[in-house]
Amino acid sequence: MAISLLDALYIPFTSALLGVLFLTSISPLEFERYMFHYLTFYTFIFLGRVCVYGFGPGRSFVTAFAQTSLVALSFNVSLFVSIAVYRLFGHRCRKFPGPVLARLTRFYVAYLNAKGYQFYKELGELHERYGDIVRTGKSNVRRYWPREISILDKAAIPAIYGPNTECRKSTWYGQSGNDPNKVSINMTRDTKQYRLRRRAWDRGFSTKALASYQPRVKSKADVLIRQLYGSTGSSVDITKWSMLFAFDIMGEVGFGKDFNSLASGQEHPAIKGIHEHIAVLGVLQTVPWFLNLLGTIPGAAASFSEFFSVCEKELEEKERTWNSEKEPQDIVSWLLKAIKDKDVSASPTRESLTDDSRVVIIAGSDTTANTLANVLFYLAKHPAVQRKLRNLVDTAIPEGYTTWNYEKIKTITYIDDIINETLRLKPPIIQGGSRETPDSGIRIGDTYIPGNVNVSVPYLLIQRDPRWWKHPNDFIPERFGERRTEMGTDDAPFFPFQLGMHACAGKNLAFLSLRTAVSAIVQNFVVDFAPGETGEEFDERFRDTFLMTLLPLQLQFTPRAEVHANIDS
């Protein structure tokens, strides 16, 4: 039986009406939370209708399928047209300029991300074209997405991220699920629950805990130094070795486990998993509901399952071997202690604990590794800076590396100036965290941003903005030291570790690791580019994959004794 003329007119009309009604009814909801349920329900209804109308005497499945497809088509067309009209002309963000495609769909920014993985450059161009506030459609919405705005104005930093902000974590943090009982600390959007859970983490980074980590960090630096001595005369890919160093530290300090990557010189399989994970994240982070959906499809996350299973395995081993009577000696043990003590800060479920264990590795290793590799790049490129640093280390520890001492290294503020200047130019997390404005909206200077809009300030762009930074693209560590006043550093926007309650939990550990590695390297070696390496590609072509992904960098580490011998002869 074919579709009658009446059906052919009636079905599209009622279905289209249904599409508009549906859109109106979901408008108060953060609908992407329910995307998975919606798609499942949609498929179920579709198949159910085919069965109901196709089953029975005189009925045909083909006709039922054709009718149902007409219903679905009319419903979808009406839904998408209404959404497009609303997004273009009725959205509360419509006064903010931005590319038309970004107003229509967040997949446009996913496309810009995928195009060479240099979204920060694309975003820089959008800001140049449209001004300090650009509608990017970058993440998600409560009322008909996309509602994303990128702000390149330093006044926005305290308003969005500062200690007194009323902004909350946006739907970006819903990419691994929206149930706060099942996700990591970093993905916890509920502010009350977040504050409680953060306490367990902060215990793992207390001054006392860091003092117990320090000798283990130094022992990893020793292995790195030994390996660099072994490389004498050949070039070393410092991107790889920095990752091995940072990954081993997170094994030691995170899980109390020796991952042995530095000693073996081999990438642990989990490292590949991390990089595949962040490459996917780099493109699809703009569409968190889609990432969330992908995670529910068996096999879709296969590329990074190795990393997930390593974390799961290490967590299980820790649970088996951990001595709960003793003071915790690593971050995961602090999290386990909170659970054992039934403390309010404990990860609420097994799933959330597992997700937390992944955060230990993801948040701690790539960030530190990138910074170390970039510091060494700048030292190779600026021999005068390297010499100045080495003289300071030699003055603090004249007897050489055998008497290396962290307390003395900590007093050399120039190391921190070099690390900060590196983090200004190359923040390992390139785009600022996405936050949702409170219902009442916020004011940034003279501009009112309505409520429930996702806002972010891009770290890399604002930390190189010539309005606040003199010679913004030049590497001048002294701007954080003796030239601070002259260069206006105190008034310039700098927040690579984020600010306020959601600021990086591991900042002090990062500084401990970086000060240790950088001082140990300059005390032992002179660092140069390897023959044929200019560093230009490394400097220019790093990938914007949420966490920065670096290209290999070939350096040469000449033992200082050898340099002296060459000069003397």
Bind-site residues: 504
Considering only residues 433 to 452 of the shown chain, the ones binding ligand HEM according to CB under 6 A are 433
Kindly list the distances between the CA atom of residue 383 and the CA atoms of 189, 475, 479, 520, in Å, as whole numbers in the listed order.
Answer: 45, 12, 18, 17
Q: β-strand 442-444 against 447-449: which pairing, if any?
A: antiparallel
Q: Which alpha helices (H) appear in 362-433, and where do they start and end?
A: 367-381, 383-396, 406-410, 413-425
Q: Which two tokens stand for residue 251?
A: 């094994």
Nearer to ligand HEM, 205 or 557 (CB): 205
Q: Which is nearer to ligand HEM, 180 or 506 (CB)?
A: 506
CA–CA distance, 47 with 82 (Å, rounded to integer): 25
Q: Is the separation of the CB atoms in 413 and 519 below 8 Å? A: no
Asked if 516 is part of the footprint of ligand HEM (rule: CB under 6 A), the reply reads no
Q: How is residue 171 annotated by DSSP? A: G
From 142-150, 335-343, 494-502, 539-547, span contacting ligand HEM (CB under 6 A): 494-502
Under a CB-based contact definition with an 8 Å cutoff, are residues 441 and 451 in contact?
yes
Residue 510 in the binding site for ligand HEM (CB under 6 A)? yes
Nearer to ligand HEM, 199 or 387 (CB): 199
**87 vs 358, which CB is nearer to ligand HEM?**
358
**Binding of ligand HEM at residue 493 (CB under 6 A)?**
no
> What is the b/e burial string over 497-532, where b = at least 16 CB atoms within 10 angstroms of the residue's CB?
bbbbebebbbebbbbbbbbbbbbbbbbbbbbbbbee
Structure tokens at 431: 């785009």
Among the listed residues 138, 381, 464, 502, the single contact to ligand HEM using CB under 6 A: 502
Q: Give the C-alpha separation, 250 to 254, whole Å.
A: 5
Per CB under 6 A, which region of 124-132, 304-312, 356-364, 516-524 contacts ligand HEM? 356-364
Closest C-alpha to 365, from 293, 278, 286, 287: 278
**Minimum distance, C-beta of residue 345 to ligand HEM, in the bound complex (Å):** 12
Provide the minimum distance between the beta carbon of 56 and ligand HEM in the complex, in angstroms, as a whole number. 55
Letters for 409-438 (x = contact with ligand HEM by CB under 6 A, - = none) are --------------x----xx---x-----
Nearer residue to ligand HEM within complex by CB, 381 or 515: 515
For the annotated binding site for heme, the residues are: 504
Please select the residue that binds ligand HEM; options are 67, 178, 186, 374, rule is CB under 6 A. Answer: 186
For residues 412 and 563, what is the distance between their CA atoms, to the nearest angstrom? 24
When asked if residue 506 is in the footprint of ligand HEM (CB under 6 A), the reply is: yes
Contact letters for ligand HEM, residues 27-56 (x by CB under 6 A): ------------------------------
Lookup: tokens for 560:
């200082």
Nearest approach in angstroms of CB 329 to ligand HEM is 15
Closest CA to 156 of 417, 471, 465, 428: 465
CB count, 10 Å around CB of 228?
Answer: 22
Is residue 174 near ligand HEM by the rule CB under 6 A?
A: no
Q: What are the tokens at 448?
A: 């009112």
- Chain position carrying tokens 């030292």: 379
Beta-sheet strands, E only, within 439-565 = 442-444, 447-449, 454-456, 525-529, 543-545, 547-549, 554-559
270 binds ligand HEM (CB under 6 A): no
Least spacing, CB of residue 564 vs ligand HEM, in Å? 33
Residue closest to ligand HEM when measured from CB atoms? 506
Tell me, by CB under 6 A, how many residues bind ligand HEM: 24
> Using omega within 30 degrees of 0 as the cis cutoff, is the peptide bond preceding 493 cis?
no
Beta-strand runs (E) in 226-344: 236-237
> At its nearest, how many Å lie between ligand HEM and the CB of residue 212?
15
For ligand HEM, the binding residue among 102, 244, 335, 359 (CB under 6 A) is: 359
Selected from 67, 170, 367, 516, the binder of ligand HEM by CB under 6 A is 367
Query: Segment contacting ligand HEM (CB under 6 A): 48-56, 364-372, 443-451, 535-543?
Result: 364-372
Residues that bind ligand HEM (CB under 6 A): 185-186, 198, 201, 359-360, 363-364, 367-368, 371, 423, 428-429, 433, 496-498, 502, 504-506, 509-510
